[in-house]
């Protein structure tokens, strides 16, 4: 059976309404396309848990803080749709920018605090753009469940807080990060790495694993953990560290000492490519 | 038949779901209580157009820019519920503050531009508080239609832009301002006027009517219209004008000269009571 291709908001609403009339629950997987095995895990989880699965594919301009990043973002809709079909999705909602932003957008959804830290500090306005488009998607595709990867842990925290604060009628389902055999987290940005950069890239996850080991063997000092993890990254001079922090998983506020669960999150540059990753301990 | 009293979000969702299962359309009338004939017109319109009518009653703390205004805001839930029952509403959703804001609210919905003008200039943060709570209410009470009074014309414009920008799946229905026989727009704040202030208060609408007459007889100069309308208001020294402007009905930006429809909007103080009104020409 082939996947239904949806371009407009109104046909998407009719399609979801028809699925609901048939008594099906609805799962939504919001993506920006360039689908990889990380997205595959989201769609498979959605497929397990819902009668009807919609993958949205929209490269959302308002969440890009740097125009060149938006421009370079990989786009291959036909291949993405074929991928969704193989994964067993029922529909792909792939609107163009004029469908999503037909007039000057004046409304924004912002999540204070958490949005200004780590990623938010280095990508001003990014999480406002994310929260705004996700709020729109939840209104366009009224889903029972929506699936987000833990690789973007801070994005997940922003969306969970938005859903709680605005009473969005949807359950957010986090899905574990999918990794290459050498540990590199799946990301559409990986394909922009040179072979040499690709060889170096797994150091990011290795540094986070080192931090995880330290915490599991009893360290509760963020300074100590950061020092050791940064030492792993600085092994290779091609890596430029943007941040590496031990943070509270709900607020993404940096912690100094801790006893309960934390997230160790990092962003690094390899040439022109920015990679992020995190571990929850 | 008696009106259903709803206090929690979860019982409200079940109640709306049950109405939908019965094939009924849902109309929502968001209010802050202290119901008067202006609200009556909203509920009656909702009653005409929907199978199931919910009135929400919630004095929303985050839209008050001045704590004393929040404190003085009239509250009489039993009388409001009796009023809703007489009007034929099916349910009243009257949550307490802890139900609406159980944890620290970090998320906000803002509508740029329009929110900073007139009311927004004099009541900083007001429209962000309004847009945020209305976004929540739309998520809690999934309605086909929601009813807002034209007396709060700028609020109506903010919400219409929010609904368009965020694709909220609800139709906004504007309802004409209801007036006392002497022209004073119905408002819960009117009951705080002294008898002497109440006698003076209709000058606000008279000034706006004077502006309307001028426009209808061919004036297209905002300066001229403002001058004449302000002259009506300054007849009585007890009136302090906060603003009186000729604005674009969608953006609430002041216009200098115009050919098509405009709104003339004003806010005045009578002692400690702030009154607003507007005419669409």
Report pLDDT for B106.
98
Residues B100 and B224 grouped into a single domain: no
Total structural domains in chain A? 2
Packing angle, helices A222-233 and A203-216, rounded to 10: 150
CATH number, domain with residue B196? 3.30.1300.10
Residues A213 and A275 grouped into a single domain: yes
Residues B246 and B138 grouped into a single domain: no
Report pLDDT for B259.
79
- Among B126, B148, B175, where does a domain finish? B175
Report pLDDT for B258.
87
Mean pLDDT of B216-223: 95
Which residues of chain B does A169 touch, with a Cβ-Cβ cutoff of 8 Å? 13, 139, 142
Can you tell me the distance from the alpha carbon of B268 to that of A136, in angstroms, rounded to the nearest whole number?
37
**Residue B182: inside a domain, yes or no?**
no
pLDDT tens track for B72-115: 999 999 999 999 999 999 999 999 999 999 999 999 999 999 99
Which residues of chain B does A109 touch, with a Cβ-Cβ cutoff of 8 Å? 107-109, 135, 166
Report pLDDT for B1.
62
User: Can you say how many angstroms the Cα of residue B27 is from the centroid of all Cα atoms in its chain?
Assistant: 16
Whether B165 contacts chain A with CB within 8 A: yes
Can you tell me the distance from the alpha carbon of B24 to that of B51, in angstroms, rounded to the nearest whole number?
5
CATH number, domain with residue B87? 3.40.50.620
pLDDT tens track for B248-276: 999 999 999 987 799 999 999 999 999 99
**Residue A183: inside a domain, yes or no?**
no
Over pLDDT 90: what percentage of chain B? Answer: 97
Q: Residue A116: closest CA among chain B residues belongs to which residue?
A: B106
Which residues of chain B does A164 touch, with a Cβ-Cβ cutoff of 8 Å? 103
Residues A27 and A139 grouped into a single domain: yes
Residues A24 and A79 grouped into a single domain: yes
**Residue B180: inside a domain, yes or no?**
no
**Residue B102: inside a domain, yes or no?**
yes
**Residue B183: inside a domain, yes or no?**
no
Residues B46 and B170 grouped into a single domain: yes
Hey, what are A49's tokens? 């848990």
- Helix or strand holding residue A166 (H, E): helix A153-166
pLDDT tens track for B151-192: 999 999 999 999 999 999 999 999 999 999 999 999 999 999
Q: What is the ipTM of this complex?
A: 0.96
For residue B92, list its beta bridge partners.
Answer: B5, B55
pLDDT tens track for A99-118: 999 999 999 999 999 999 99
- Among B114, B142, B175, where does a domain finish? B175
Contact B174/B148 with Cβ under 8 angstroms?
A: yes
First and final C-alpha spacing in chain B = 42
**Domain around A230:** 188-280
Residues B152 and B42 grouped into a single domain: yes
Can you tell me the distance from the alpha carbon of B218 to that of B21, in angstroms, rounded to the nearest whole number?
54
Which residues of chain B does A103 touch, with a Cβ-Cβ cutoff of 8 Å? 164-165
Q: Residue B103: closest CA among chain A residues belongs to which residue?
A: A165
Residues A15 and A105 grouped into a single domain: yes
Whether B178 contacts chain A with CB within 8 A: no
**Residue B65: inside a domain, yes or no?**
yes
**Residue A269: inside a domain, yes or no?**
yes
Whether A272 contacts chain B with CB within 8 A: no
Half-sphere exposure for A101 (CA within 13 Å, toward CB): 14
Q: Are residues B166 and A112, on separate chains, in Cβ contact within 8 Å?
A: no
Q: Are residues B107 and A109, on separate chains, in Cβ contact within 8 Å?
A: yes
Task: Nearest by CB to B139, from A106, A161, A166: name it.
Answer: A166
Q: Is B236 exposed, middle or buried (0-12, 13-18, 19+ CB in 10 A)?
A: middle
| Cα–Cα nearest to A57, from A74, A72, A69, A71 | A74
Report pLDDT for A1.
62
3 state SS for chain B: CCCEEECCHHHHHHHHHHHHHCCCCEEEEEECCCCCHHHHHHHHHHHHHCCEEEEEECCCHHHCCCHHHHHHCCCCHHHHHHHHHHHCCCEEECCCHHHHCCCCCCEEEEECCHHHCCHHHHCCCHHHHHHHHHHHHHHHCCCCEEEEEHHHHHHHHHHHHHHHHHCCCCEEEEECCCECCCCCECCHHHHHCCHHHHHHCCHHHHHHHHHHHHHHCCCCEHHHHHHHHHHHHCCCCCEEEEEEEEECCCCCCECCECCCCCEEEEEEEECCEEEEEEEEC
Contact B56/B81 with Cβ under 8 angstroms?
A: no
**Residue B60: inside a domain, yes or no?**
yes
pLDDT tens track for B122-154: 999 999 999 999 999 999 999 999 999 999 999
| Cα–Cα nearest to A137, from A52, A19, A32 | A32
Per-residue pLDDT of chain A (281 residues; tens, 9 = 90+): 699 999 999 999 999 999 999 999 999 999 999 999 999 999 999 999 999 999 999 999 999 999 998 999 999 999 999 999 999 999 999 999 999 999 999 999 999 999 999 999 999 999 999 999 999 999 999 999 999 999 999 999 999 999 999 999 999 999 999 999 999 999 999 999 999 999 999 999 999 999 999 999 999 999 999 999 999 999 999 999 999 999 999 999 999 998 879 999 999 999 999 999 999 99
Whether B146 contacts chain A with CB within 8 A: no
- Among A148, A175, A202, where does a domain finish? A175
Q: Can B83 be counted among the known catalytic residues?
A: no
Q: Are residues A106 and B165, on separate chains, in Cβ contact within 8 Å?
A: yes
Residues A97 and A119 grouped into a single domain: yes
Can you tell me the distance from the alpha carbon of B100 to that of B220, in angstroms, rounded to the nearest whole number?
46
Which residues of chain B does A162 touch, with a Cβ-Cβ cutoff of 8 Å? 107
Residues B74 and B12 grouped into a single domain: yes
Hey, what are A72's tokens? 């370079």
Report pLDDT for A159.
98
**Which residues of A carry out catalysis?**
39
Residues A142 and A55 grouped into a single domain: yes
Whether A165 contacts chain B with CB within 8 A: yes
Can you tell me the distance from the alpha carbon of A132 to that of A139, in angstroms, rounded to the nearest whole number?
11
Task: Nearest by CB to B107, from A9, A105, A162: name it.
Answer: A162
Residues A148 and A67 grouped into a single domain: yes
Q: Is B243 exposed, middle or buried (0-12, 13-18, 19+ CB in 10 A)?
A: middle
What φ, ψ does residue B119 adopt, rounded to 5°? -55, -40
């Amino acid at each position: 059976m082939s996947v239904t291709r949806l371009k407009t908001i109104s046909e998407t609403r009719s399609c979801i309404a028809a699925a609901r009339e048939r008594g099906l629950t609805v799962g939504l997987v919001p993506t920006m396309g360039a689908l990889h095995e990380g997205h595959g895990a989201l769609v498979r989880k959605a497929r397990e848990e819902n009668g009807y699965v919609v993958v949205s594919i929209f490269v959302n301009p308002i969440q890009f803080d740097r125009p060149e990043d938006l421009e370079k973002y990989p786009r291959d809709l036909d291949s993405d749709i074929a991928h969704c079909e193989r994964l067993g999705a029922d529909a792909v909602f792939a609107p163009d920018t004029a469908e999503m932003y037909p007039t000057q957008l004046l409304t924004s959804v912002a999540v204070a605090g958490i949005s200004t830290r780590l990623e938010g500090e280095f990508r001003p306005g990014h999480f406002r753009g994310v929260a705004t488009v996700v709020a729109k998607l939840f209104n366009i595709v009224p889903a029972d469940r929506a699936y987000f990867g833990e690789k973007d842990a801070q994005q997940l925290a922003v969306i969970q807080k938005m859903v709680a604060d605005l009473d969005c009628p949807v359950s957010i389902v986090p899905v574990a990060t999918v990794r290459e055999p050498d540990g590199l987290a799946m990301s559409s940005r990986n394909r922009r790495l040179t072979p040499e950069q690709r060889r170096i890239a797994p150091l990011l996850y290795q540094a986070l694993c080192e931090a995880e080991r330290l915490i599991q063997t009893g360290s509760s000092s963020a300074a100590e953990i950061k020092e050791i993890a940064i030492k792993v990254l600085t092994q290779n001079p091609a890596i430029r560290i943007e941040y590496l922090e031990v943070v509270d998983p709900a607020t993404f506020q940096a912690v100094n000492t801790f006893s309960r669960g934390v997230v160790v999150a990092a962003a690094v540059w390899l040439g022109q490519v920015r990679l992020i990753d995190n571990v929850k301990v």
